Amino acid sequence: MFFKLSLLSCLAPFVASLILNTPADAVAGESMVVSWTASADDPNFALLLNNAGFSSPVSLPDDTDIDPQTSNDITVSLAGIPARTGYWLEARNTSDLGIIYAESAQFTITSA
């Protein structure tokens, strides 16, 4: 029991209450607004776009250190992103991209 509590206390700093909203009306080659809901203790994050067809997630904005307290949305370019279904967004730790803070539901990027 003590081990389980110790493990939970070690993981607690990595838990974020950040919620990524699912984008609507995403169009390939255009801009898309990504929004989120954050609490005061949510850390900065990197925003990535993922799809089962990708070999690895794609970083969306040039700024990979987004402060969720400064704003609750960001506009990103979908230039070079193909139209298809099954995309989702990920908010990840800026120094260890293996740590995922939040994911959106899946959405579709349509063709222009």
- What is the end-to-end Cα distance of the chain in Å, rounded? 55
Average pLDDT, 10 consecutive residues per value, the chain (112 residues): 44 70 96 95 96 92 88 94 96 94 97 92
8 A C-beta contact, residue 36 and residue 19:
yes
Residue 99 lies in a domain: yes
Residues 6+ apart with CB under 8 A from 38: 17, 18, 19, 68, 69, 72
pTM of the full structure: 0.83
C-alpha span between 14 and 85 (Å, rounded): 30
Residue 2 lies in a domain: no
Tokens representing 91 are 């908010």
pLDDT attached to residue 87: 97
Residue 72 lies in a domain: yes
Residue 4 lies in a domain: no
Residue 7 lies in a domain: no
Query: Domain with 93 in it: what CATH number?
Result: 2.60.40.2840
Residue 93 lies in a domain: yes
8 A C-beta contact, residue 58 and residue 77:
no
Residue 11 lies in a domain: no
Domain range spanning residue 30?
16-110
Residue 6 lies in a domain: no
Tell me how many domains the chain contains: 1
